[in-house]
Amino acid sequence: MTDRYGVIGNPVAHSKGPQIHAAFARQTGQDLRYERILAPLGGFVEAVRAFRATGGRGLNVTLPFKIEACAFAKELTDRARDAGAVNTLSFDDGGGALGDNTDGAGLVADITLRLGVALAGRRVLVAGAGGAARGIVGPLLASHVAELVIVNRSPEAARVLAARHAQHAGVSGGAFGDLDDRGFDVVINATSASLGGNTLPLPAPVFGRCVLAYDLVYADQPTPFMRAASARGAAQVSDGLGMLVAQAAESFLLWRGVRPDPLPVMAELRPGCAAIAPR
Ligand code: ATR
């Protein structure tokens, strides 16, 4: 029988998961089905149980259920515990559910492998301290960045997030206004500001030596953050479509034990985009 997987969220109609996982299945010769599951708000656990009862093997979890999925999972990977959120559930035959978070690994893979930007030794700025930021801080630090500064509109949330990683040297949190004239090699927008068409109050010198400005949001047009970064001198800008494909590859690996190559799938979703040569 063909194994069933899916993405659960609300809304979920826009999800590219089915296209991405169908492409991974073709690429790796795996036999699986992947569907969209719209769960009512307040009905996450029931929807997961129903999917599982009808043969579901695993789920990607998207907004607004990532935190509920964390509470639902019987067991968590370190990176899911670290993020306080789960984007991947894997069901075993004994009734257990493993919760993982592949978002940060997807970001790191997209930056280092597709965009060719090494993270080790870099000064990195993360804007935002919500769920998206929580998922990426641990994996960025594990990539041996030299310094990681978190800024947020509500600075206390940035300080709290930095404090959770205080075992790493060089992590700090604060307000946009604290940045003064500091410059960063890699600047990551983990806020949802772009979704509302808003720019961030980032001082221009932030981008003066920037090799990559990366918006976790994906869109067909450059986001306000990407446009501001380019105008202020960022050498390269990217939206988050590559991260989306790369985090899906990590989920596929967890479920199937095979790691698909995200690059051809990225090229299928956005022709020409995967062809950026590593430097
Ligand atoms: P997500 O899970 O996508 O991170 P979230 O937890 O609601 O969503 O967090 C949204 C993030 O975007 C927060 O860091 C938020 O800042 P606050 O904590 O101050 O609310 C940030 N954000 C949203 N809109 C913003 C805007 N217009 N300017 C600056 N930051 C914004």
Q: Is the pTM of this model over 0.75?
A: yes
Alpha carbon 189 to chain centroid, angstroms: 11
- The pair of three-digit structure tokens given for residue 165, joined into one six-digit string: 């990683």
- Give the pLDDT of residue 278: 37
Provide the pairing of β-strand 123-127 with 237-238.
unpaired
152 Cβ inside 6 Å of ligand 1: yes
Arithmetic mean of pLDDT over the chain: 94
Cα 86 to ligand 1 centre (Å)? 19
pLDDT beneath 50, residues of the chain: 274-279
- Give the pLDDT of residue 30: 96
Query: Which atom of ligand 1 is the closest one to the Cα of 129?
Result: 14
Phi, psi of 2 (to 5 degrees): -70, 130
Q: Which domains does the chain have, with CATH numbers?
A: 3-102+245-269 (3.40.50.10860), 118-235 (3.40.50.720)
Does residue 74 have an active-site annotation?
no
pLDDT in tens, 83-111: 999 999 999 988 899 999 999 999 999 99
Query: Which atom of ligand 1 is the closest one to the Cα of 176?
Result: 29
- Residue 266: which H helix or E strand, with range? helix 262-269
- Give the pLDDT of residue 273: 67
pLDDT in tens, 221-234: 999 999 999 999 99
191 Cβ inside 6 Å of ligand 1: yes
- Give the pLDDT of residue 277: 38
154 Cβ inside 6 Å of ligand 1: yes
